A and B are shown apart, each in its own frame.
Chain A
């Protein structure tokens, strides 16, 4: 029997966790960092600011395609902590430390694994924002009914637990009334019966699921959870999801104007201690320049993912610090193997034609390095300097294209849903580099037909640009092998990932990761350009809240409980 305690801190656990940690997709920057019980807020003794009154209002800005902020993102994962907002109001069972070395207790105080069973002992005395007590019934409800319910959107939610928790597949496909693999022996214990002896892989799944209040959500009949005749997800339209957002997290929603602002106030009875801030405001920016201007004027205290073009200016400003924290996602082209890119050598040739360092310097203003490997490599102890799966070699590129039978008269279509002016220079540089090895290209802007072309046969596109690739860790990477849009399932790749998830020995794990890197780099189903730069700007007024960034993706680098804003 293996036991994970809150203080269990080892390289070994880290590696286990990191294999599948960091769910891909959006760079999540602000799930609440659960301060381990007993660890007092680190007051900076020598700091002159320490004499300031704690509190203040913190304005948090982030870029978004639209100004609409969804409190809970109920259609994804029935609330997903990867979304900034839900991370403030809700907690998950477990958390992971900001440097990915330690699993931290959150709503679960400790847990133990015994063969295929995982038992979580829940924290006592936790309250929902409305004063109701939090119990194991809430966990059972969230994971056992909400996440896998056949009426609830299936894509993001249940796939995490399908085939992992017993009976989840049957329940989600409407063949069973309940998930057999979840039980709650008492108010503060929850047991999961798994199909295999998963360890870190299971904890990583739990990171995605904030626990929802049963007493509030069960009042909406389950038949109304699904899509109504207006095409709307029923759960998403409940007053709970649209107005209240009641959770167990450190902050409560105090003012919500969907297309402008969400304001939060501290939750007095938060189990981790009442947050220091008086008020917290979340503001989305739809325009790059508007965001940069707001940062410069000090209109927002923390701005994440600011445009790389402003990096040099921000560096020259006295009133802000810059935190570089590049995301687990990447700019990448996804190749469709059905057509002209069917030959592996052609795909390798296309990749070899790209001078990624040049792109990093010119388009990313030197804020990131060009990608050196198809997977994100930080977690495996592989230094970026030694990673050499992607190289720049136009001669070899040309040779491989010829060997692969590339038709140099063919005009290769670079697909995208719309042509964002921001990325235009990037596309232009890529085109030029491909042009240099004789590959003619054109933009294929799919506009209204984007989803049709992408999802329906005959999937008529050559390659597709994605600003946010899925996570470059194997867990997220598996979709590159399975997604039907890029061609047939690559059984070998899938088998490699499945095997990797269960590996416990760190050396073995590292070797496995290397093999996967090599395999993916050789296969070239997608062509990574560079990591998405994470250039976060933090006002010097912000005290006590940020942690030193480490290389790699982290979900929570802001300590929401202890952060405050000095006058």
Chain B
């Protein structure tokens, strides 16, 4: 049998039953997810937040970086529904546009770390032996460095801007996901259908992409969800230290800096409460969704 035939054979053998069962699996997954009420509510909330961020120019009356004279620390009014910040910018516009920035920092950073994690985790898990040993030791070593300290240090060296912040958060976020991928692959590798595919001489690459990775996807998705939440928080922390997204681009993190004054904290709630609540609710919602996903993926945790 040639390689091609083997591959086709394996597809016939394994793909046929999987496609019908995967539809069933998806239905069961969705059923379980919907039973997690907080997760459902959070999902709806997140959809709203994302839509607002996407529709930013249409839901705001003012550009986020425009300074309106007389609006410095001005209370909410009909013109500026969430008032003005310290410099006189429209807080509502900044929250909405800031959402774009904060969410994309989260998503891009996590995409970077997931890419690294999948690449290294798959290599380690599939090939095992010394490849595995080296990759896992490197992972162990990177994990020794406290993430926020590393991010802070490297961003301060490279200079703070949105791209560096995304890249650096991503570059230090992969080790735990890589371990996860590797662990999952070690398990899946021993499953019968993979063994069978190997015996049939299917290419490593094909086995990896067609048969193993799909099974790694579920836990990875959960990990990525939590990753987005923690990346948003990391950006907020970096902004607090003046190392986050560079103003005037608003991010929820750098807007929260207004809370660094008791005067503002006490008497100008509209400057710090909106970005604070945006971070809190979004991260909360992402975590609930992640929790719901985990419950839905993991049959052992299914509701009785």
Interface residues of chain A, those whose CB is within 8 Å of chain B, are: 287-289, 292-293, 296, 307, 309-313, 358, 361-363, 418-422, 424-429, 431-432, 443, 445-449
Contact = CB atoms under 8 A, between A and B. Distances in A.
Nearest to B66: A432
Interface range on chain B: under 10, 10 to 19, 20 to 34, or 35 or more?
20 to 34
Contacts of B156: 418, 447-448
Interface stretch (B43-51, B105-113, B141-149, B242-250): B242-250
B157 A447 contact: yes
A90 B3 CA distance: 88
B87 A310 contact: no
Given A421-B254, A425-B85, A445-B161, A362 B72 contact: yes
Nearest to A289: B260
Nearest to B241: A421
Given A419-B246, A429-B87, A432-B66, A446 B159 contact: yes
Contacts of B86: 309, 362-363, 425
Given A292-B261, A447-B159, A449-B159, 20 more contacts: A287-B260, A288-B260, A292-B263, A307-B261, A309-B86, A309-B263, A310-B262, A312-B263, A313-B263, A313-B266, A358-B69, A362-B87, A418-B160, A418-B242, A420-B242, A424-B87, A432-B65, A432-B67, A445-B246, A446-B159
A293 B265 CA distance: 12
B248 A447 contact: no
Interface string B223-258: 000000000000000011011001110000010010
B1 interface: no
Contacts, number: 92
B89 interface: yes
B85 to A, nearest CB: 7
Contacts of B66: 432
B261 A428 contact: no
B262 A292 contact: yes
Contacts of A288: 260-261
Main secondary structure of the interface of B (DSSP, over half): loop
A513 B128 CA distance: 79
Interface in B156-213: 156-161
A429 B72 CA distance: 10
A424 B88 contact: no
Given A421-B240, A421-B242, A309 B67 contact: no
12 contacts: A288-B261, A289-B265, A292-B261, A362-B86, A418-B243, A420-B242, A424-B257, A426-B87, A428-B247, A432-B66, A447-B160, A448-B157
Contacts of A418: 156, 160, 242-243
B75 interface: no
Contacts of A363: 86-87
A500 B157 CA distance: 44
A287 B263 CA distance: 15
Q: Kindly list the 4 A-B residue pairs having the minimum CB-CB distance in the complex, ordered from nearest.
A: A447-B159, A425-B87, A362-B72, A421-B257
A424 B247 contact: yes
B150 interface: no
B293 to A, nearest CB: 35
A158 to B, nearest CB: 34
Contact of A424 (B69, B159, B254, B262): B254
A448 B159 contact: yes
A53 B157 CA distance: 54
Nearest to B72: A362
Given A362-B87, A419-B160, A421-B254, A443 B261 contact: no
B281 interface: no
B264 interface: yes
Contacts of B85: 425
Given A362-B87, A425-B87, A428-B65, A445 B261 contact: no
Contacts of A420: 242
Given A362-B86, A428-B87, A428-B247, A296 B262 contact: yes
